[in-house]
Chains A and B, each alone.
Chain A
Amino acid sequence: MNHAKPFNVIGRAHERRDGRGHVTGTTVYVDDIGFPRMCYLKMVRNPLVHARIRGIDFSEAEQVPGFVTALTARDVPKNVYTILCLIGVEPDDEPVLAEDRVRYRGEQIAAVVAETEAAAAEAAAKVRLDLEELPHVLDVEEALAPGAPVVTHWGTNHFVYEGHHCRRLRYGDAESARERADHVVSGRYQMSPIEHAPVETTGCVAKPEADGRVTVYTNTQAIYFSLDNTALILGLPPHRLHFVGGTVGGGFGGKVDVMVEPIAALAAMRTGRPVKYMYTRPEEMRISSTRSAARIYIRDGVMADGTIVSREVTTYHDAGAYSRHSPYGCTKHAANAAGPYTIPNVSVDVHCVYTNRQPSSAMRGFGVTEASFAVEMQMDRVARELDLDPWELRLHHAYRNGDERPYRKRTEDASLVEAIQAAATLAGVELAPELHAMSSNDRDWGAE
């Protein structure tokens, strides 16, 4: 590849390929897709928080004109969402349709299929649930305290990371360094759960084909991920499924949980008809995953001259009632929890905690957004307590090329120094000459 030539195509603001479709309303999204004899799936959901299911009565629902069928746990060949096992993380924990327990308000219990959307909604509303309420826990630290109601099926309210109760990072000796430090600066930072809130809700249309395959039109962010998970749940060889998508009305991480395709495909196979399953807006807001609420405690050991010699981070990541992608996200968070700074002693504990709340999962910045939020507020806290310039504090500690990160990887593409300098220039902030002279390649503020 001859990179010495000037670029012809890249580096230019070429117009969007799909722009004309978008502005004329002709781009096809999943909800725009329909087929003859298509029916609609609505989910019956847990109205309580934590409960045991004693019985489900469909007799009234079946009387609704247009009712086609209903599915419960026993209809699902492999009744567990498998999004983690495909990336080698165990155990899977969330049923496609609840079996004996429901663990969060809104959890799916039964799928009702009917000729029209209105009929499906009416029938779903007429399904009678016999539920026995169980004690629930909502706070991450309460969930880890002895005696808390147990959320998971394996008996602890935390994900087990290779025998540990949290994902851990240990670099140097943070505790000793903190004890020798001149100052200790501590903070508690709480990130709220937020919704992806794409303007297009999550959904799919599953269509059984004459050759026995099932085509699923979906707005998933990950075609094969969704296909493979659906195949596992349905007990089908993956090549029997045909997933079509690629056009999404906003994702932000909210359309990677594979929540709708398996049950819709199952319904299509059972009824022999196309089935559409689109989340309503209230479902998108209250049921679909959120960003996790993360409670982050940071404790820094700082010398009188402003050098941060130790950083201890304890994070309680609220996974909600089920794992979804949280165990993976906590590991990613652990790598980023100390921030883009060279600090010689770092200790990180990330607890993936289960509560009886709406499950959280991937969202734009997964694992890193909360780290950046907490670390940058903590840096300002250090600056305030020690009366340091916040710019100088960042620039001194910003990692350089050749520095070792706390996860023991040598840095090769550092550019934080330059980004900070450029932002200062843009904002009209005058940096002292020695700060202006810094670069990611200078290594003259090393940690070692």
Chain B
Amino acid sequence: MTARAVSFELNGAPVAALARPLETLQSVLRDQLGMTGTKAGCRQGGCGSCTVRLDGEPVLACLVPVEHVEGHAVTTIEGLGSADALSPVQATFHERFAVQCGFCSPGMITIATALLERNPAPTRAEIAEALAGNVCRCTGIVPIVDAIEAAASRMREREGAPA
């Protein structure tokens, strides 16, 4: 099996990885590029813990052959914010105890961020639908929906729109 180079943009910077044919984006991110914030909960597309964004769209990294991201832009949880500069969604997840074990959190935060970019004022039903592919076993999901609602409100306030 010959490895080949794959070049793409990762969290705003160009990277190149050496990948086996059809190696998943999840595997390349975690094992080669040090982006372990993207989790591997099932590797079957069933849990959502590997959710990343490909050209802004949320995708399950375990189902994306890395060749498909050649020339495209990938954003992981590491690109969303840092401990001293949390994004609004990261901040509300933390403030509202929408994290317990934390394993689903990167995926949840990523999908929530993508949702709020395309729909800045989602209803709870719309939030629920966006989360349909992400499993959380600890929180009971209600705090996650609450946190996303709160983040949406905070982001609209910052934009000057009515909260």
Contact = CB atoms under 8 A, between A and B. Distances in A.
The answer to whether A and B touch in the complex, with CB atoms under 8 Å apart, is yes
A199 B41 contact: yes
Interface string A190-207: 000000111111000000
Nearest to A34: B31
Contacts of B101: 22, 198-200, 248-250
B103 A281 contact: no
A31 interface: yes
Interface stretch (B88-96, B116-124, B154-162): B88-96
Interface in B131-156: 135-138
Contact of A200 (B37, B41, B44): B41
B83 A199 contact: no
B86 A23 contact: yes
B137 A25 contact: no
B interface, size bucket: 35 or more
Contact of A24 (B82, B100, B137): B82
Contact of A201 (B41, B80, B135): B41
A13 B41 CA distance: 30
A interface, size bucket: 20 to 34
Given A16-B94, A16-B97, A199 B104 contact: yes
Contacts of A248: 101
A170 interface: no
B56 interface: no
Contact of A25 (B31, B41, B106): B106
A2 interface: no
Interface centre among A25, A29, A118 (most CB of B within 10 A): A25
B41 A24 contact: no
A26 interface: yes
Q: Is the interface of B mostly helix, strand, loop or mixed?
A: loop
A19 interface: yes
Given A25-B38, A25-B78, A31-B40, A199 B47 contact: yes
A332 B102 CA distance: 31
A390 interface: no
B59 interface: no
A161 interface: no
Nearest to B47: A199
B95 A15 contact: yes
Contact of B93 (A23, A31, A32, A198): A23
B93 to A, nearest CB: 5
A20 interface: yes
A72 B90 CA distance: 47
A199 B135 CA distance: 7
B33 interface: no
Nearest to A198: B137
B7 interface: no
22 contacts: A19-B93, A20-B86, A22-B94, A23-B91, A23-B93, A23-B99, A23-B102, A23-B105, A23-B109, A27-B102, A29-B103, A31-B40, A197-B137, A199-B47, A199-B137, A200-B39, A201-B41, A249-B101, A249-B102, A281-B43, A281-B44, A281-B47
Interface of B: 20, 30-31, 36-44, 46-47, 49, 76-78, 80-83, 86, 90-91, 93-95, 97, 99-106, 109, 135-138
Given A20-B83, A250-B137, A250-B138, 7 more contacts: A18-B102, A23-B94, A24-B80, A24-B82, A249-B41, A249-B103, A252-B137
Interface of A: 13, 15-16, 18-29, 31-32, 34, 118, 196-201, 248-250, 252, 280-281
